[in-house]
A and B are shown apart, each in its own frame.
Chain A
Amino acid sequence: QKEVEQDPGPLSVPEGAIVSLNCTYSNSAFQYFMWYRQYSRKGPELLMYTYSSGNKEDGRFTAQVDKSSKYISLFIRDSQPSDSATYLCAMIDNQGGKLIFGQGTELSVKP
């Protein structure tokens, strides 16, 4: 079993839709949770960074962490064609070790 599971998609939605992206993990030592967006042929760009359980909002993006269920989510409201990219969840353990990535979900937002 992988430490971090993420549905690779691809996920296709119409413009304006609410997108829900999710990851589950098995290591209870993970303390820091991130979402990255990666456009084709580019490096990942940090979208959200959370430390504890709960919600964090930034514009159209909301990150949610549920440590009891070992489940994290990223919601995108009013999705735009420019949101079309691969979204990677990532986490670090409480020792500040390596970044563990999910497989990435490929999202396509159709005009």
Chain B
Amino acid sequence: GAVVSQHPSRVICKSGTSVKIECRSLDFQATTMFWYRQFPKQSLMLMATSNEGSKATYEQGVEKDKFLINHASLTLSTLTVTSAHPEDSSFYICSASDRVGQPQHFGDGTRLSIL
């Protein structure tokens, strides 16, 4: 149980393109979903927290107009990297939790490369 699916797993695109990443909880309802960014050999850095039907809460230093998050249902959240540039290249990972205090379950990540 507690499966989170993230799609796509790999994206390579030109600078200026907008990229959408989907995160789905397959066998549970995710009241809260989280988006992380991970650089090589480093731990996960929380970007934002989203609750179904409400605006996402962004961490300090994360541009909300650059990283658009939508959590339209209890099983789907999307992250859109708008007008992506090479410095946005990274490994993006989503997670989901069904209750406060419960462990988060992670997707397999999306490797984004902006040329």
Chain A residues in the interface with B (C-beta under 8 A): 31-32, 34, 36, 41-46, 49, 88, 90, 92, 94, 96, 98-99, 101-104
Most chain A CB atoms below 10 A, which of B2, B49, B100, B103:
B103
B43/A42 in contact, CB under 8 A: no
Cα–Cα distance between A90 and B106 once the two chains are bound (Å):
13
B106/A43 in contact, CB under 8 A: yes
Chain B residues in the interface with A (C-beta under 8 A): 2, 4, 6, 34, 42-44, 46, 49, 91, 93, 95, 100-109, 111
Q: How near does chain B come to A29, taking the closest CB pair, in angstroms?
A: 12
A43/B93 in contact, CB under 8 A: yes
Could you give 19 example pairs across A and B, Cβ below 8 Å? A31-B101, A32-B101, A34-B103, A41-B111, A43-B6, A43-B93, A44-B44, A46-B103, A46-B104, A46-B105, A88-B44, A94-B101, A96-B100, A99-B34, A99-B46, A101-B43, A103-B43, A104-B42, A104-B43
With contacts defined as CB atoms under 8 Å apart, how many contacts are there between chain A and chain B in the complex? 49
B102: chain A residues within 8 A (beta carbon): 32
B4: chain A residues within 8 A (beta carbon): 43
Contacting residue for B103 out of A42, A49, A98, CB 8 A: A49
Q: Closest residue to A39 on the B side, CB-wise?
A: B108
B43/A88 in contact, CB under 8 A: yes
Most chain B CB atoms below 10 A, which of A41, A49, A96, A99:
A99
A102/B43 in contact, CB under 8 A: yes
Given A31-B101, A92-B101, A96-B100, A42 contacting B108 (CB threshold 8 A): yes
